[in-house]
Structure 1
């Protein structure tokens, strides 16, 4: 939900100024800002498990690194600016300006929640696709599924696959058991 504020449009520069005045985590979407809510423990467990799986697979890679949600990524062209904080992000270059990554991540993962699922499946999917993120994973805790958008060619994902709990994702010459991502979930 957009930030409750009386404005028609907030520039990216104004967003950075606003962000420096508050401890509230926010994201920027081409003029609008969004509050980030605290996550549910299950969300955090899945996010951490994905981080550990990716970090383990990339352990011997001195080029790529794995980051979690307190690292911002900025997407910008002449007409649009966005700044998001993905749940998990893999980069294979060092295009940081302070704490903001200004390159194109190799992989972004968003763990769906009630507050963010529409934005993750809509706005963020569109932005990540348009700006050339190679792979985008949407992780649905409720259905224990992972949908992977990949093979981004000219700003369009050519492959979309959904993996259920009994399946294995082949990634970077390794296997990730989907059930292992959800193994620590607590039932409510």
Structure 2
């Protein structure tokens, strides 16, 4: 993966997996194109960990698992294939093939950063919607708000709500999380 131009060349998923195995960096696959993920600000990780711990506390480990950052989810159809590493995802079935999840998570959460904001609000929203992820949260640390897309019917989110300070995020999973608690970890 030596030169930076390589990330803009089309590569097959098989080539991506080979590059991924040889490369210590975090990579995502966008239907033929590789994206090198950059390190995040500590607040990004603090918020991610706070959300994950709240989800684990609510869900326990009985029916669903909560995964963070380094677990990949693969979405594919006859025409396209994507592999992302969401900041947080909730999976309620065991559809792993090796280390990659090949099912549809019940919830995906992406925390915006300068490097990923465009993809999280654009491409990933479109892909999660298209592949029927029931609920998708976009967490904006700068604005201290959470946008929740839900009620995915036939590949379209029918509902989106913005949660800000002093509000409770009400998830379709029955989870209620206080927005103030999530952003209380920011330093």
What secondary structure does 1:5 align onto?
helix
- In structure 2, runs of 5+ residues without a counterpart are none
Deviation at 1:19, TM superposition (A): 0.6
Q: RMSD over aligned Cα, in angstroms?
A: 1.2
For 2:175 and 2:66, how far apart are their aligned partners in 1?
16
Aligned positions of 1:25-104 closer than 5 A: 25-59=26-60, 62-104=62-104
Task: Output the TM-score relative to the length of structure 1.
Answer: 0.94
- In structure 1, runs of 5+ residues without a counterpart are none
For 1:85 and 1:71, how far apart are their aligned partners in 2?
6
Task: Output the TM-score relative to the length of structure 2.
Answer: 0.94
Structure 1 runs, 4 residues or longer, greater than 2 Å off: 170-175
Aligned positions of 1:99-110 closer than 5 A: 99-110=99-110
**1:96-139 CA distance string (max 9 Å, x none):** 01110000000000000000000000000000000000000000
Equivalent in the alignment of 1:160: 160
What secondary structure does 2:93 align onto?
coil
Q: Relative to 1, partners in 2 of residues 1:47 and 1:152: Cα closer, same or farther, differing over 3 Å?
A: same
Aligned positions of 1:128-147 closer than 5 A: 128-147=128-147
Q: Relative to 1, partners in 2 of residues 1:156 and 1:62: Cα closer, same or farther, differing over 3 Å?
A: same
Q: Matched residue pairs, number?
A: 183
**1:48-86 CA distance string (max 9 Å, x none):** 000000000001x51211000000000000000000000
